[in-house]
């Protein structure tokens, strides 16, 4: 009497495909689980906790607190420092996007031509981007020093003593003085992106335009600028997101002063949480900053998603 033998399902049969789909999906979840746990613990949970505390009057230290609903959010339009911080944020955003983008594009155009020592020049122009912000604040704080700083010393040396002043110590110049190093350190990023984009433009278009009699200016506006459109979008979107989160440089150079002249939303949030012990109000400001940053980043994310989908 013969014995029956069990044969494995052939590769490609529905049974094998179902098994692969089942265990393949399980393996994917197992590999993603550590990263997902880190994401939930260190990002999602703190974000939800901050959102909850923004509806309370918690002082940041006491184990008890009261739920106050939207009171913290309704208080912001009545807070004169918040109004000033928003205005400063807008000014900061405009200045620290416009000038780095324009200067970065100009440097990229320069380095894209026939220039000696391109690697060295790229390193020099990009170095400020990788310096610690505290170090940058210390360097420029020394330059702005009213007594022995290099800027005032130079002005006195050339006979312009009347222009020497406490740049970081007066309302009229403090914000502008902080924005100068902010522009300086942000130039390298758009420069590299634009340089990469310029090197990807088909040179045949320029040759054809030259044959047709187009000037350098016409080639720039009708060939270079349209070809840099994706780079423009990335540079401006990322710079805009970064500008809304400004904190380090202002805190290290002026501490939000003199008075409240250089306060931005980030520094005012910090003072409320860690100095004035109004954690509920401070986290409400943090939530507003987060919402604005997310709203600004949505068009950029959608554009990148569409680009990769195509």
Tens digits of residue pLDDT in 64-92 = 999 999 999 999 999 999 999 999 999 99
Q: What is the pLDDT of residues 268-285, one digit of tens each?
A: 999 999 999 999 999 999
In a domain, 192, yes or no: yes
Q: How far is CA 87 from CA 84, 237, 260, in A?
A: 5, 20, 12
Looking at residue 21, what is its pLDDT? 56
Is residue 122 assigned to a domain? yes
pLDDT digits (tens, 9 = 90+) for 200-227: 898 899 889 999 898 989 999 999 999 9
Burial (Cβ within 10 Å: 0-12, 13-18, ≥19) of residue 91: middle
pLDDT band at 155, cuts 50/70/90? very high
Cα distances (Å, whole numbers) of residue 169 to 160, 172, 177, 253, 260: 19, 9, 10, 10, 11
Domain span at residue 265 reads: 71-298
Residue 270 inside a domain? The answer is yes
Query: Does residue 285 lie in a domain region?
Result: yes
- The C-alpha atoms of residue 224 and residue 156 are separated, in whole angstroms, by 44
Residue 33 is assigned to a structural domain of this protein = no
The CATH number of residue 254's host domain is 1.10.3720.10
Looking at the structure of the chain, the number of domains it has is: 1
**pLDDT band (50, 70, 90) for residue 265:** very high
Say how far residue 173 (Cα) sits from the centre of its chain. 24
Q: Is 27 part of any domain? A: no
How far is residue 221's CA from residue 223's CA, in Å, rounded to a whole number?
6
pLDDT tens digits, one per residue of 87-111: 999 999 999 999 999 999 999 999 9
In a domain, 178, yes or no: yes
**What is the pLDDT, as a whole number, of residue 28?**
76
Is 278 domain-assigned? yes
Share of the chain above pLDDT 90, in %: 60
Sign of the torsion formed by the C-alpha atoms of 76, 77, 80 and 82: positive
Cβ atoms of 166 and 223 closer than 8 Å: no
Return d(Cα 285, Cα 297) in angstroms, integer.
18
pLDDT at position 1 is 47
Confidence at residue 178, expressed as pLDDT on a 0 to 100 scale:
96
């Amino acid at each position: 009497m013969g014995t029956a033998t069990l044969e494995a399902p052939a590769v490609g049969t529905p049974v094998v495909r179902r098994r692969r789909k089942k265990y393949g999906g399980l393996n994917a979840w197992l590999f993603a689980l550590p990263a997902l746990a880190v994401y939930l613990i260190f990002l999602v949970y703190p974000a939800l906790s901050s959102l909850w505390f923004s509806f309370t009057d918690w002082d940041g230290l006491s184990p008890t607190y009261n739920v106050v609903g939207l009171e913290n959010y309704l208080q912001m339009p009545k807070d004169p420092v918040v109004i000033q911080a928003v205005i400063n944020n807008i000014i900061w955003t405009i200045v620290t996007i416009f000038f780095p983008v324009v200067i970065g594009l100009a440097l990229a155009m320069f380095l894209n031509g026939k220039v000696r020592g391109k690697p060295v020049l790229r390193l020099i122009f990009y170095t400020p981007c990788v310096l610690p912000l505290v170090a940058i604040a210390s360097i420029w704080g020394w330059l702005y020093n009213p007594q022995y700083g290099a800027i005032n010393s130079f002005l006195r040396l050339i006979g312009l003593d009347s222009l020497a002043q406490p740049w970081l110590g007066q309302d009229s110049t403090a914000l502008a003085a902080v924005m100068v190093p902010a522009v300086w350190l942000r130039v390298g990023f758009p420069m590299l992106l634009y340089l990469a984009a310029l090197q990807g433009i088909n040179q045949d278009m320029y040759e054809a335009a030259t044959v047709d009699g187009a000037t350098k200016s016409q080639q720039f506006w009708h060939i270079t600028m349209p070809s840099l459109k994706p780079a423009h979008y990335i540079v401006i979107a990322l710079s805009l997101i970064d500008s809304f989160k400004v904190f380090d440089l202002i805190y290290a150079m002026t501490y939000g002063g003199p008075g409240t002249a250089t306060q931005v939303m980030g520094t005012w949030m910090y003072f409320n949480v860690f100095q004035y012990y109004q954690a509920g109000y401070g986290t409400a400001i943090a939530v507003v900053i987060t919402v604005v940053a997310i709203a600004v980043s949505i068009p950029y994310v959608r554009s990148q998603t569409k680009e990769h989908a195509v």
